[in-house]
Chain A
């Protein structure tokens, strides 16, 4: 069996004596689409922040593509091949839709400062490539007509799509989506889920998806982890998860 793309090994984080996430074990194989679900406040976003380097694990390790990424800075982890979206949308809101995507190509740009100042060498060629690729991504996400609009003026659903487009521009191997369907209506959600399945195949991506609403992820995820109070209480295929008494208790008993 090949090595998993991402493997969290007993990753834990403590905030002021409180264990926000403890003994977080998770693996994702290349090409998989995995869901991470759990009730509100279960620590899902904290787990994401651990993987992406926003928080440093207090103990345990996280391996990505055969190397440890625990303790690395967020930008180093993105450069290593993990891109993410945010639960509370974090676009570059004053900038154009196109610029939002162009910024994410940053770590793939080869021209140096001197070529920038004097505008010689690779500058024009690479800038053109970036613009073309960014427009191609916008087309996929049906945003090409809005390329020159300010990101903050987009409707909510379009902002969520733009965040995914922007994350893809960083050319990740692993894409982390933090509640991508939050605030969307059922029709939009359905379209989004289809789009996620499609881009996964098109870009050869591995995807880890956080969702608060369990029913959403059942349709597209191959495996699911369930988090409650910072601890993984269940894992398995959607069918197994639906039958799991712990999960039913967490969702029904926990919130009732």
Chain B
């Protein structure tokens, strides 16, 4: 009984944590799908999103939903700007050069933010009442409900964009084969730009939600979640949108279980351990297909 109780409780914690990973992982996977770049700076975009949300709430005294929207819009534009300035000039450079640039962008965002907002962690105000909902013997708090709810809504919107709109079709075509898509009259530069915008907006939402959930944000908060979201994307199958969500939720649940039943110090090791196992045994991820190089 006690075990089952704790198990379900950790499952709830895991799913809400996993929702955050899923939101960040979606951006990773969309960007990787089109330009084959591990955008190391994606975790820092999420951090910037959290700060914009923080300032929208504290300085502009917005309530949470407008703050979330403002953060998503501004961060989405920032994502486009980063792509335009740092990655676009290297479109035809070796992949290693772009990867190193991404590491550079990541450092830049972290330490430029540190310069502007100071390294001290900020306390995110309580924007929603901290009510604990009892569902039978289990506890779900208001923040967890909000995280899962907003994640769900965003995913529905994303699915609509990708499946039904012209932009979504262009994105899918480009992720299949950028050059062919261009031959079919798709403006690849624009598609890539919008992909960064959407991915960054989703990361910003995750950042604001994490601020609400953990009440604390700092300029280096994006490093670990960024890496883990990448793990989630790989776990689900990089380039595949439902894969990012599946991977994110699974990773969140595993981490919650490891923290709950073993020790929280092993939480990060578990994530990386999963990454390595996936890469070794099914590098295409849970939902992916294997490919090989043509000779």
Physical contact A–B (CB less than 8 Å)? yes
The smallest beta-carbon distance between B128 and chain A, in angstroms, is: 52
* A54 CB within 8 Å of chain B: yes
B295: chain A residues within 8 A (beta carbon): 45, 49, 54, 86
Question: Which residues in window 273-295 of B have CB below 8 A to A?
Answer: 295
Bound form: Cα–Cα A54–B295 in Å? 8
Number of A-B contacts (CB under 8 A): 4
Bound form: Cα–Cα A32–B295 in Å? 26
A45: chain B residues within 8 A (beta carbon): 295
Number of interface residues of B (CB under 8 A): 1
The smallest beta-carbon distance between B293 and chain A, in angstroms, is: 10
Chain A interface size, under 10 / 10 to 19 / 20 to 34 / 35 or more = under 10
Bound form: Cα–Cα A211–B295 in Å? 17
Bound form: Cα–Cα A49–B293 in Å? 13
The smallest beta-carbon distance between B108 and chain A, in angstroms, is: 30
Bound form: Cα–Cα A86–B295 in Å? 8
The smallest beta-carbon distance between B234 and chain A, in angstroms, is: 24
Bound form: Cα–Cα A45–B295 in Å? 8
**Contact digits for A24-61, partner B, Cβ 8 Å, 1 yes 0 no:** 00000000000000000000010001000010000000
Bound form: Cα–Cα A12–B169 in Å? 39
The smallest beta-carbon distance between B88 and chain A, in angstroms, is: 25
The smallest beta-carbon distance between B107 and chain A, in angstroms, is: 28
Bound form: Cα–Cα A30–B295 in Å? 27
The smallest beta-carbon distance between A48 and chain B, in angstroms, is: 9
Bound form: Cα–Cα A86–B294 in Å? 12
Question: Which residues in window 86-100 of B have CB below 8 A to A?
Answer: none
The smallest beta-carbon distance between B53 and chain A, in angstroms, is: 47
The smallest beta-carbon distance between B294 and chain A, in angstroms, is: 9
| CB nearest to B293 among chain A residues | A54
Bound form: Cα–Cα A254–B295 in Å? 25
**Contact digits for B216-248, partner A, Cβ 8 Å, 1 yes 0 no:** 000000000000000000000000000000000
Chain B residues within 8 Å of A, Cβ to Cβ: 295
Q: Which 4 A-B pairs have the closest CB atoms?
A: A54-B295, A49-B295, A45-B295, A86-B295
For this complex, 4 residue pairs linking A to B, each with C-beta atoms less than 8 Å apart, are A45-B295, A49-B295, A54-B295, A86-B295
